[in-house]
Each structure stands twice: as C-alpha cells, then as structure tokens.
Amino acid sequence: MVKNHQRPPFRAEHMGSLLRPQKLSEKRVELDGKDAIAITQDKELQSLEDEAINDIVKVQLNLGYHPVTDGEYRRHQFWGTFFPGLEGFEEISDPPLDMFRLYVPDLAAFTEAGHKPGESIVCTGKIKHKGSTYIDQWNYLKSRLPADRIKEAKITLPAPEWYHLRYQNGRAYPKDVYANDAEYFADIATAYRTELKVLYDAGCRNITIDDPNLAYFCSEKMLSGFATAGESATALFDSYITLYNACLSDRPPDLHVGIHLCRGNFAYSRHFSEGGYDRVANKLFNAINADTYFLEYDTERAGGFEPLEHLPAHKNVIVGVITSKFPELEDLEEMRQRVFEAADYVAKGAGQTREEALKRMGVSPQCGFASHHLGNSVTREDMIAKLKLVRELANSIWPGEP
C-alpha cells in the first residue's frame, strides 16, 4: 500500500510567490532588457533581495506558516532560471511568431493584445545540467530558519514541459540535436533528477512544481487550436505525464513533491484561461507520481469540485479557495462550507468519510501574490490579510494542526 505523505503538506499553505517591496520591484524594472542570468548577478539587486527575504521569512513565521518560502524574491517570474541555466538552452529576444502555438492561452493573450510572447528560451544544443541556479536561493532561505523548520520550507520549480508546449511541433529543439520529443524529454528528465538531488542533498524536503500548462489542457479554446492544427492534445498530455514520472523517478521517499495548477496569474492579477479539471483529473491525479495537488478554486473558471472524486486515497489536495488576485476578503464560513463540499467529493471517490478525507486536505490562495515580479493588484496589507484568512480558515477546520 502506498503511504500518504504528510507534513508536508500542511493545513495552511501558500504557493510561494509573495509581493515584493517597492524598492526591489523598481530595481527589477531598471534591469529589464538584460538576460535572465545576468539580472541575477547584479550586486545591488542581490542586496535588496537579501533584505526583503529576511523580512518576509519573519512575516510567514509570525503568521503561523510552516511551508516558508523566500517569496521567490530572487526570480523575475515564478519559473526562475532553471532552463537558461542548463547547457543547451539560450534566450532569444525576437523570436519569429510562426514558431509558437498561438492558441496556448498565455501566448494567445499576449499576441491578441499586440504584444510579443513572453520570455523565450529555446533549446539550441544537447541539454545538460551544469549547476543549480536554485541552490543559492535555497541555502539563503535555509540560513534564515530555525534548524527544526528547514525540512518544512518550500522551494518551487518550473514545469518540465514549460518550454515545449508553447512551441509548434518540432520547433522546441533542433532536429539535428534531438530526433523526437522522447529524446528531448529524456535529457530534460535527467536534468530535473540532477536538480532534485542537488536540492535534496542541501536539506530540501519540500518541492512544488508550478504548472499552468497542465491546467491549459482544460481550456476549450486551446483544445480547439490543437484540433485545427491536426495535433492530438491527448497524446501530448500523456507524453507530459511520462516526462513528469521520468523527472521524479529517483526521488527519495521523504522528498515531498506537489504540483500546482492555475489558469494564469500574470502581472496585475491577469488570468489566461478557464475550464474545469474534468478533462484531466483522472490522469492528473492517478498517473503522475506526485504527493499533493495544489488546485485553483477561487472562481467559477476552475469549475466544480466533482473531479476530486478521482483523487486516490494516498494523495493530498490543497484547495485554493482564497484569491490572491483581489483585496476583498472572503467570508470565513462560506469558505469552510466550500472546503467541506470539496472534502465530500474526495471522500466519495476514495470510499472514505468526510473526516478521513479532510486528513488529506489543506487550504491556500489559488496562486501566488506575485507570479510576475510586478505583482498582483493587491497591497502588502491586503496580502497579509489574505494569508491570515487562510491560516484562520485552516485553524477553524483543523484546530491545532500546522
């Protein structure tokens, strides 16, 4: 029987990114235009990041959070610099539009508004891990925490298919380097396994992979785009599941891995897609070898809780019923009832009682507060109020539990 992984996850969670102080955001804007790796090496920026991280770690601890993060303050956007830090990837500044699947929701949003696609990192040669771009982030966070809290702290990683879905079939890599997706994915998976080992050896035991791409497969608009292009979205989704499992194949049993799905959380609270989890739930929950699913559930865009019936009895779900996009506070009792409704579907699918299902659940905002360094349309005070509400909601359902 497969063991259920607990502590992590925790009853009160957040996704990782937190609003940056104004000085830090202004410095980031000043550095716009430089490539992602060069920005991370700016000494003034590093000093501002240190100061901000010292503060936000204390804020999280004071609010009663156990999965503490560095707010992702050293990243320009939530995915950070994993891919440009690999051998075989390069950032290109003016990519041709015909290389993109323009029906992928975030690309569609940018191009339909007359903007270029966001940061474009492309494979140009054989992919190889040449040193972690996250290890310094982890080590600094670790240095800010009491020794007994290090195993609870969280770091987030980008989706392994992040720079694959966005590109047209055959355009994610040169054909003289990789003959097909399977070869390309094999080297991506090797790089991920190396990254996970580096972080694990440094004491990390709690990782969440941020993956809006998987939620995009719930989008009718994107699926229609695939059909028009004569491609199978189902086959591609299945190949991503295989990729995930290859990435996670060597992980130790005490390394908690979560997957976070949302429908976009760009600067100033912008979303990119909509659609319930019905289309992906069975494979998402049962075929990927992850422990916990962090799911967006703050608006009708995410659909109902019915797909949670597919969650197997050894896995966890964190329901993101509090929004990070806007400042208005949700009603505590209404949120309690929503969590209980979700628990009833989890229980039904696993043949459990509500009380048993709740032992595998937690609550959170639906996404981060600053997936992009410019942040959502909320203030620091709004963010703290939301985090307090999440903690209060958790305390009201699971009193005395972290």
Query: Which tens digit of pLDDT belongs to each residue from 74-111?
Result: 998 877 899 999 999 998 888 889 999 999 988 877 66
Does residue 267 register a pLDDT over 60? no
- Mean per-residue pLDDT, 186-192: 98
Q: How far is CA 313 from CA 41, 78, 341, 347, 361, in A?
A: 45, 30, 17, 9, 11
List pLDDT tens digits, range 376-395: 889 999 999 999 999 999 99
Please check whether residue 205 is in contact with residue 291, taking contact to mean a CB–CB distance below 8 angstroms: no
For the chain, give the mean pLDDT.
93
pLDDT band at 273 (very low <50, low <70, confident <90, very high): low
pLDDT band at 167 (very low <50, low <70, confident <90, very high): very high
Q: What angle do CA 386, 392, 398 make, to 5 degrees?
A: 135
Least confident of 8-17, 42-51, 171-180, 268-277: 268-277
pLDDT band at 400 (very low <50, low <70, confident <90, very high): very high
pLDDT of residue 308: 98
pLDDT band at 266 (very low <50, low <70, confident <90, very high): low
Least confident of 30-39, 153-162, 177-186, 232-241: 30-39
pLDDT of residue 271: 55
- Mean per-residue pLDDT, 39-44: 88
Its pTM stands at 0.95
What does the alpha-carbon distance between residue 197 and residue 256 come to, in Å, rounded to a whole number?
A: 13
How many beta carbons lie within 10 A of that of residue 243, not counting itself?
A: 23
pLDDT of residue 365: 97
pLDDT of residue 375: 83
What does the alpha-carbon distance between residue 365 and residue 360 come to, in Å, rounded to a whole number?
A: 17
List pLDDT tens digits, range 105-139: 888 776 666 667 677 899 999 999 999 999 999 99
Helix (H, G, I), strand (E, B) or coil at 157: strand
- Mean per-residue pLDDT, 16-40: 87
How many beta carbons lie within 10 A of that of residue 116, not counting itself?
A: 14
pLDDT of residue 197: 98
